[in-house]
Amino acid sequence: MLLVAIVALDLAGCRRGGQPPAQSPSDTASLATTAELPAPGEKLLRGTDDPALLKSCVNYTRRFLWIDAVEVTPNRVPADSTINHRFTYTFCPQATVKSLRGTLLTRISLQGTQVVANVDKNYVLIPGQWAVDANILIPAQASPGTYTLETTFTSGGAEFRRSAAFTVY
């Protein structure tokens, strides 16, 4: 049975000023490791005055924004558990723009077939290096297999895309 839906891509909790939805007992995962997952939301990893960020940005004179990584933790889970989706991006402070608004698409597929997608057409990136965490509940009826979680940010004709795999058993 193809997974009907992977419940609640909790990206609403990742927006600046956004609050994660209240969780009922049925929304929580059955794994003890859930408590160890990062809280949903944005975390500043390196500020615009961080020497390591500035050095990294000097090496990319033509690009001022990129997705560093997309990670899924844990990457192997039973159905009816929660995973953490983290994407990390770098937005160089030397850019003339102070923020960038675009479309953030998070898509989960199984064997090339899209299972669920979450689209935020008004997502704002700001300078610095940021980690954005979202916790995703894998429903009990999830089909076993290797899933691909893809994160894409599109703005003004530019597109940045990264993906990571996780396995449901």
Can you name the CATH fold of 10-168? Immunoglobulin-like (2.60.40)
Per residue in 78-95, pLDDT (tens digit) is 999 999 999 999 999 776
Instruction: Judge whether residue 163 has pLDDT over 80.
Output: yes
Average pLDDT over every residue of 118-142: 96
Please give the mean pLDDT across all residues of the chain.
82
pLDDT per residue over 55-71, tens digit each?
888 877 678 899 999 99
- Where is 58: in which H helix or E strand? helix 51-58
Instruction: Give residue 82's pLDDT.
Output: 96
List the domain boundaries for the chain.
Answer: 10-168
